[in-house]
């Protein structure tokens, strides 16, 4: 699929300059077609649609996403949100003497919150000394035999920095701790192979770079842990004999479905399939290359216009989340919105996140409008 073909798939691109994919990926015609199909079946079959087409759609999504992430369908659970996925894992281990959890101040807050609410857990939040990343040595110093989880992000939502999962897995495992990765900001913009990553748990979801909308999360669990762990929050979707309706005996699924928490959001199952198909067809390597070209251009143009950027010095550590320092981020976002350009803001920064469907010309228009917003 070439760039022109891809752009035609996303109606928002005909209306706006859309540069906020790290918040919400664009909705495609393919996803809309899946959604229409879902609604039509709802009209036509009502609940009977569950016993055939909708169940099949769930299986389709699970297999397609598992293949995309480099794992097997049996190692992937579908949950309502990243927060829900993290909370199931946090409730799957006994803390005892191993009661420390290490994360960083650059991680998304919902990660730390899972343990901040547990009085029996000692939560260690590592500071960032440069505002961009946390040095692996800081993890190594904090993770020891008191540690239950090293829990952090693959791509930091705050700065776009891509963390070295191999190095962090080594640190966690040599101390006997689990390595849990919040991967919401990675799959769809950079290649991810969860099986090879060293992660014991990896969460992702269709909302952002996978262009699949809100309401679902994907949880990968390492093979041997799937059978070993028994979550203390659960649902009938986690039960091996889900349709036996036996209240007195609960046996979890043998595969990762044992981590699931009830009926999945079917509209999102459909939109996620549409988004995922397009990502698969374009190909993650091609997407990464294109996003590199777009972000290199953005960095170059923004710096040439006098902006300072909060980002990794080495371009290979950067992703397509670019933080442009600005004295008045809300004012700048409003200024750009008036000109049909959608970006976002975080403290002290305008956040620009292009995706494969954007063009160099759109980046130029964005930088031009940003420059005007400082006058
Ligand atoms: C890295 C990261 N983790 C977690 C979340 C929150 O996920 P959820 O609302 O699905 O719990 C976000 C949301 O933007 C995020 O960027």
Cβ of 271 below 6 Å from ligand 1 = no
Cβ of 184 below 6 Å from ligand 1 = yes
Confidence of residue 375 (pLDDT cuts 50, 70, 90): confident
Average pLDDT over every residue of 76-91: 98
* SS3 annotation, the chain: CCHHHHHHCCCHHHHCEECECCCCCCCCHHHHHHHHHHHHHHHHHHHHHHHCHHHHHHHHHHHHHHHHHCCCHHHEEEECCHHHHHHHHHCCCCCCCCCEEEEECCCCHHHHHHHHCCCCCEEEEECCCCCCCCCHHHHHHHCCCCEEEEEEECECCCCCCECCHHHHHHHHHHCCCEEEEECCCCECCECCCHHHHCCCEEEECCCCCCCCCCCCEEEEECHHHHHHCCCCCCCHHHECCHHHCCCCCCCECCCHHHHCCCCCCHHHHHHHHHHHHHHHHHCHHHHHHHHHHHHHHHHHHHHHCCCCEECCCCHHHCCCCEEEECCCHHHHHHHHHHCCEECEEECCEEEEECCCCCCHHHHHHHHHHHHHCCC
To test the ligand 1 pocket, which listed residue (88, 112, 157, 161) has its Cβ within 8 A of the most ligand atoms? 157
Average pLDDT over every residue of 271-279: 98
> Which atom, in ligand 1's list, is nearest to the CA of 214?
10
CA of 82 to the centre of ligand 1 (A): 6
**Under 8 Å between Cβ of 216 and 268:** yes
Among 1, 27, 24, smallest CA distance to 14 is for 27
pLDDT over 90, % of the chain: 98
Confidence of residue 2 (pLDDT cuts 50, 70, 90): confident
Mean pLDDT (the chain, rounded): 97
Q: Work out the number of other CB atoms within 10 angstroms of the CB of residue 198.
A: 20
Burial category of 74 from C-beta neighbours within 10 Å (exposed 0-12, middle 13-18, buried 19 and up)? middle
Average pLDDT over every residue of 16-40: 98
Average pLDDT over every residue of 111-133: 97
CA of 184 to the centre of ligand 1 (A): 6
Describe the crossing of helices 284-304 and 266-282 by its angle, rounded to 10 degrees.
Answer: 80
Residue whose CA is at the smallest distance from ligand 1 atom 6 = 82
Indicate if the pLDDT at residue 127 is higher than 90. yes
Cβ of 83 below 6 Å from ligand 1 = yes
178-182 and 201-204 as β-strands: parallel, antiparallel, unpaired? Answer: parallel
Q: Say how far apart CA 303 and CA 125 lie, in whole Å.
A: 32
Confidence of residue 335 (pLDDT cuts 50, 70, 90): very high
What integer pLDDT is reported at residue 5 of this predicted model? 83
Tokens of 297: 């251009």
Reported as a single tens digit per residue, the pLDDT across 232-262 is 999 999 999 999 999 999 999 999 999 999 9
Backbone region of residue 353 per phi and psi (left: phi > 0; alpha: psi in -120 to 50; beta: other values): beta
**Under 8 Å between Cβ of 341 and 369:** yes
Indicate if the pLDDT at residue 4 is higher than 80. no
Cβ of 185 below 6 Å from ligand 1 = yes
Reported as a single tens digit per residue, the pLDDT across 149-183 is 999 999 999 999 999 999 999 999 999 999 999 99
Does pTM surpass 0.95?
Answer: yes
Q: Say how far apart CA 109 and CA 97 lie, in whole Å.
A: 25
Average pLDDT over every residue of 116-139: 97
Q: Work out the number of other CB atoms within 10 angstroms of the CB of residue 328.
A: 13
**Under 8 Å between Cβ of 295 and 161:** no
> Which atom, in ligand 1's list, is nearest to the CA of 205?
10
* Residue 177: alpha-carbon gap to chain centroid: 23
Indicate if the pLDDT at residue 296 is higher than 80. yes
**Under 8 Å between Cβ of 362 and 19:** yes
Describe the crossing of helices 53-69 and 29-45 by its angle, rounded to 10 degrees.
Answer: 150
To test the ligand 1 pocket, which listed residue (77, 87, 108, 180) has its Cβ within 8 A of the most ligand atoms? 108
To test the ligand 1 pocket, which listed residue (184, 185, 209, 268) has its Cβ within 8 A of the most ligand atoms? 184
Among 113, 71, 38, smallest CA distance to 219 is for 71
């Amino acid at each position: 699929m070439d760039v022109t073909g891809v752009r035609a798939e996303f109606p928002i691109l005909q209306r706006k300059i859309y540069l906020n994919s790290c918040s919400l990926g664009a909705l495609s015609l393919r996803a809309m077609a899946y959604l229409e199909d879902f609604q039509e079946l709802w009209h036509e079959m009502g609940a009977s649609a569950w016993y055939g087409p909708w169940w099949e759609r769930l299986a389709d999504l699970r297999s397609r996403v598992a293949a995309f992430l480099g794992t097997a369908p049996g190692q992937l659970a579908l949950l309502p949100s990243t927060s829900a996925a993290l909370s199931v894992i946090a409730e799957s281990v006994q803390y005892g003497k191993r009661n420390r959890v290490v994360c960083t101040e650059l991680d998304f807050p919902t990660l730390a919150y899972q343990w901040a609410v547990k009085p029996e857990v000692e939560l260690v939040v590592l500071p960032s000394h440069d505002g961009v990343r946390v040095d692996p040595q800081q993890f190594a110093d904090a993770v020891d035999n008191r540690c239950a989880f090293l829990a952090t992000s693959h791509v930091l939502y705050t700065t776009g920095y891509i963390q070295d999962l191999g190095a962090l897995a080594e640190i966690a495992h040599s101390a006997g701790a689990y390595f849990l990765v919040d991967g919401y900001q990675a799959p769809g913009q950079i290649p991810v192979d969860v099986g090879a990553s060293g992660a014991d748990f990896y969460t992702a979801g269709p909302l952002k770079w996978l262009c699949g909308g809100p309401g679902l999360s994907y949880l990968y669990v390492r093979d041997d842990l799937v059978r070993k762990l028994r979550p203390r929050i659960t649902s009938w979707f986690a039960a091996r004999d889900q349709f036996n309706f036996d209240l007195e005996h609960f046996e979890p699924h043998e595969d990762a479905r044992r981590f699931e928490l009830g009926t999945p959001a079917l509209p999102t199952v459909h939109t996620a399939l549409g988004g995922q198909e397009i990502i698969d067809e374009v190909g993650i390597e091609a997407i990464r290359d294109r996003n590199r070209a777009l972000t290199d251009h953005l960095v170059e143009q923004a710096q040439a216009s006098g902006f300072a950027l909060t980002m990794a010095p080495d371009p290979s550590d950067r992703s397509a989340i670019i933080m442009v320092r600005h004295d008045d981020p809300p004012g700048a976002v409003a200024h750009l919105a008036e000109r049909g350009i959608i970006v976002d803001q975080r403290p002290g920064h305008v956040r620009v996140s292009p995706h494969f469907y954007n063009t160099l010309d759109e980046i130029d228009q964005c930088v031009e409008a940003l420059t005007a917003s400082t006058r």
